[in-house]
Amino acid sequence: MKTIKTLLSFACFLLLLQTATAQGTLTTKIAEWERAKAYTKEYLDAMPESGYALNPTPEMRSFADQMLHLTDANYGFTATATGEKSPLGLGEVEKMKDKSKANVTKVVVAGYDYVIAALKKMSPKQLGEKVKFMNRFEMTKEMVFTKDFEHQTHHRGQATVYLRLAGVTPPAEKLF
């Protein structure tokens, strides 16, 4: 009987440890999105108003369009992960007419807030659930957020070149 109680106690301990670790991972993910939001805001602030229309080549997006594309994905990826309807339709953000610095900044920050709020509502268990992404990739909800994080990092990185072309020194790297 004592052995069974010891085993049950140990199993409960492992379950609590696993739950605490999963919650810690979720807390870290939220902190990373907060950091990404602050870093992207530094890019938005650094670019002068005139640089928002900067279009390095005809095939490339303008700086404003890069940031709106990043935001469109934040809404779309998050809606897939949560199963909720996005407050903005797919592609709607990129089609915005007002591409002023003030409006783009407001929209981009709101997109990050949408991701962060969604993560705060999720449990570690929910993050482990599978979804169909882009109607063809089966992955966990956590992986959808990971792919979104990679996507926003990619486009923010591209924006470094835009800042340089506008004569602006990009914000210092913010890995931590």
Q: What is the DSSP letter of 130?
A: E
Kindly state the tokens that stand for 74. 């934040």
CB atoms within 10 A of CB 122: 18
- Backbone φ and ψ of 29, nearest 5°: -60, -45
Burial status of residue 162 (CB atoms within 10 A of its CB: 0-12, 13-18, 19 or more) = buried
Whole-angstrom Cα distance, residue 13 to residue 7?
A: 10
Whole-angstrom Cα distance, residue 41 to residue 19?
A: 33
Instruction: Determine if residue 151 is labeled as part of a ligand binding site.
Output: yes
Binding-site residues from annotation = 69, 151, 155
Query: Would you list which residues are annotated within the binding site for a divalent metal cation?
Result: 69, 151, 155
